[in-house]
Amino acid sequence: MKFAMAVFLRWKWERLLIVLVFIVTEVLKTNQAAVSSWTAGQEFRRPRDVLECVTKICTRHFAPNRTIVLSSSSTVRQFPGFVSSLQMNDDSKYSADFETRLLEDLHIVGRWSIVLSQPRKNTNKSALEKYSNYIVVARSQDGKLLGFKEQIFHLESSEGWNTLAKFIVVLETHGRLVSVRETAVIALQELWQRKVMNAVVLVEQNETVNIYTWFPYPHPRDEFLDVCVTQTDRDWFPRKRNLFPGKIPRDMQGYMFRVSAPNLPPFVMIEGGNRTSNLYEVDGLEVRLLRCVSQKMNLSNIVIHYDGDFPYGKEIENGTWDGIIGDLVSNRSDVAIGGWFGYVIREEPLDSSVHYFTDQFPIFVPLAEKFPSWLSFSRVFGKFTWLCLLISIPLTGILFRYVATQQADESRRYGRFLNCVSYAWCVVLGVSVVEMPRSSPLRVLFIAWLIYSLAINTLFQTYVTVFIMNPGVEHQIDSYEELGESELEFAFEEFYNSFLSEETLKTLKPRYVCEGPHSCFLYAISNHGKALLTSRVFALSEADTLGYARNFPLHSFTEDMFQLYIVMVFREGYPLLESFNTIITRLVEAGLSNKFLEDVMDMLRSKNDSLAFDTSFDYTPMSASHLHSPFVLLFLGFASSFVIFLGELIIHRARLLTIASNA
């Protein structure tokens, strides 16, 4: 009994000792964590529900297969500035750092590539795309944001900066209690200074996560969108509102937007010398598209005209821009039209719309010389065919005479060689003979020659008629192999160098560098032996405008050198860009962009009283120029008969003189 009592007391004290050791250990861990937190700048440890709320918003509203840029506060030192990919071990545990836990959750979802951004780091700011999603983890002390401007400036300095992206700002509040709404407004105002509208701010308050946004105009709804609730028995977002609603109204109530445009048919056609106008005083493909957008959104407009061969603008030594780009960068204009290429806009401080037209850029070479119309008869058959045809006539005469001599009842006319050759020639020409053959063998031979002559005569008349109407042209250069062997001079802008390989540039020599598309076109058509590299639709519109539609002196290659998308250009961060893109996309899907282009081209032709290029189905009255070949043959026949007649007279006179002298 005493032994059992001793064992029980020993077991009780050992158990008590274990409990005391565990309590002391936990107290030491808590103190150590508190000291570590204080030495690191009293970092805030967010509850798990904030993290899950951010992840849930990303899953619902961020497009997959795009990039998320995570901007951490300046005190975080665990990450490099920009990382193209993120790899973590599956067995890694969540650390105390919120950014690390968020990265782990986003990586587990596996829908996006992740880029980390941190101020005060030497980072690589190049980007292959415009980023679509941003998460900014920010701090506030006593209602003031700490380092938030620096974070946004660091994001803005990247090439992938996109003001139209979706932003999630996670605010951590410290210090005395202030209005949660006022803190969110400060963050939203800072973003709006960078033209960012699609932003939400998450602020934790009373164990819930409040979600705020803003509208650039009076809105019937308040800025408080929703709360994020992570309990499993309730919905995540009880108010069920879109966290990224459209910030631009459908009816702009006559809001003025400014358009900069050069005169570049068929995209923009400006007549008159006025400096400004509106969309209803100018015309063109892009003008008609903008009219539709303006009517749909109830916008008013003003068009600023630009003249010259290159009105688009260039960067000046002091870093500013002139021309149309200068207007956009300096906020003197909102939209630019006039055949802008989407590829070029990537390198400029501008935004572009969706493309609505694909422009083709072939080589235009001089049209081959026309064949002389008086050679129409000789071009029907080849030289060997003509030789065979001429030889077949005397051979047929020989066969006629041989068969006739073998038949006793045949006419004596077929017994002479010259008569047989004459009869064979009459059949070819479709003229009746003096006497038809009588014997059956000669009749069979005659019918065979008649069928052969009918086929030859039909082909001859058909092709002669075609060649009389259209003599055709000599060999036309239509391949890049032949282009390299030619001695043509090529006219195109220096701007096109970026779209051509070095080997192609070596082929396109000698070269004339012109300042704009108009000067290139005029140089090519005004000088013989010049080739041109330009837009196909621009060349056709220029031909219609200048009256060359019917007699265009240049030939377009079937294969294009390259193709470029045509877009509208906007100043960076223009708030109406998404609305413009939506309407333009619907217009293109409806086929109206092609319809507008056809209408503009027809209008240009009607103004200049010119015909379309394809005149294959038009009836053309025959003139003396079409009948050169028949008249040439007629005069040659007259001249030959006159020479033969003189020869016969001379021979006859010589015979008479000979008879008189012998008498």
224-232 long-range contacts, CB within 8 A, separation 24+: 224/181, 225/200, 228/49, 228/53, 228/56, 228/57, 228/202, 230/48, 230/49, 230/52, 230/53
pLDDT of residue 374: 67
pLDDT of residue 215: 76
Report for 121-130, 538-547, 622-631: range of highest mean pLDDT:
538-547
Q: How much of the chain, in percent, has pLDDT values that exceed 90?
A: 11
Least-confidence region, from 212-221, 253-262, 338-347, 429-438: 212-221
Question: Could you tell me the two tokens for 237?
Answer: 């977002």
Read off the pLDDT of each residue in 453-480 and give the average, rounded to a whole number.
Answer: 80
State the residue for tokens 């938030």. Answer: 148
The closest alpha carbon to 293, from 614, 606, 568, belongs to: 568
Q: Which CATH class is domain 248-357+569-608?
A: alpha beta
Three-state SS at 269: strand
pLDDT of residue 134: 93
pLDDT of residue 32: 38
Cα gap 286→335, rounded to integer Å = 11
The closest alpha carbon to 379, from 472, 280, 289, belongs to: 472
pLDDT of residue 613: 43
pLDDT of residue 587: 94
pLDDT of residue 616: 45
Residue pair 97/78 in contact (Cβ under 8 Å)? The answer is yes
Question: Could you tell me the two tokens for 194?
Answer: 């960078």
Read off the pLDDT of each residue in 117-139 and give the average, rounded to a whole number.
Answer: 75
Asked if pLDDT for residue 219 goes beyond 70, the answer is no
Q: Pick 219 or 356 by higher pLDDT.
A: 356
The closest alpha carbon to 265, from 537, 464, 452, belongs to: 537
pLDDT digits (tens, 9 = 90+) for 320-348: 778 888 888 888 888 999 888 876 666 66
Q: Pick 24 or 39 by higher pLDDT.
A: 24
Choosing among 1.10.1060, 3.40.50, 3.10.20, 2.60.40, the CATH entry for 48-228 is 3.40.50
Three-state SS at 67: strand
Three-state SS at 7: helix
Choosing among 2.60.40, 1.10.287, 3.10.20, 1.10.1060, the CATH entry for 377-469 is 1.10.287
Query: What are the boundaries of each domain within the chain?
Result: 1-35, 48-228, 248-357+569-608, 377-469, 627-662
pLDDT of residue 220: 46
Output the average pLDDT for the chain.
77
pLDDT digits (tens, 9 = 90+) for 649-660: 888 888 888 888
Read off the pLDDT of each residue in 179-183 and give the average, rounded to a whole number.
Answer: 77
pLDDT of residue 479: 79
DSSP calls for 471-506: --BSPPP-SHHHHHHS--EEEEEGGGGGGS-HHHHH
Q: Pick 325 or 596 by higher pLDDT.
A: 596
pLDDT band (50, 70, 90) for residue 552: confident
pLDDT of residue 581: 92
pLDDT digits (tens, 9 = 90+) for 521-530: 888 888 888 8
Asked if pLDDT for residue 78 goes beyond 70, the answer is no
Burial class, 260, CB count within 10 angstroms (exposed 0-12 / middle 13-18 / buried 19+): buried
The closest alpha carbon to 327, from 317, 339, 337, belongs to: 337
pLDDT band (50, 70, 90) for residue 211: confident
Question: Could you tell me the two tokens for 170?
Answer: 């996670």
pLDDT of residue 343: 66
pLDDT band (50, 70, 90) for residue 489: confident
pLDDT of residue 348: 67
The closest alpha carbon to 586, from 257, 339, 292, belongs to: 292
Read off the pLDDT of each residue in 68-93 and give the average, rounded to a whole number.
Answer: 49
CA dist 375 → 236, 458, 473, 511 (Å): 87, 19, 12, 36
pLDDT of residue 29: 44
pLDDT of residue 177: 57
The closest alpha carbon to 456, from 393, 373, 542, 520, belongs to: 393
Three-state SS at 638: helix
pLDDT of residue 194: 84
Cα gap 142→184, rounded to integer Å = 13
Cα gap 144→146, rounded to integer Å = 6
pLDDT of residue 567: 92
pLDDT band (50, 70, 90) for residue 395: very high
Least-confidence region, from 173-177, 369-373, 505-509, 602-606: 173-177
pLDDT of residue 20: 59
Read off the pLDDT of each residue in 37-56 and give the average, rounded to a whole number.
Answer: 53
pLDDT of residue 434: 86
Least-confidence region, from 310-314, 346-350, 380-384, 536-540: 346-350
pLDDT of residue 26: 53
pLDDT of residue 590: 93
pLDDT band (50, 70, 90) for residue 55: confident
pLDDT digits (tens, 9 = 90+) for 234-263: 456 666 677 787 778 888 888 888 999 888
User: Is the pTM above the cut of 0.85?
Assistant: no
| Type of residue at 438 | R
pLDDT band (50, 70, 90) for residue 509: confident
Question: Could you tell me the two tokens for 206?
Answer: 């009373």
Read off the pLDDT of each residue in 178-184 and give the average, rounded to a whole number.
Answer: 76
Cα gap 431→224, rounded to integer Å = 102
The closest alpha carbon to 539, from 481, 604, 592, 489, belongs to: 604
pLDDT band (50, 70, 90) for residue 84: very low
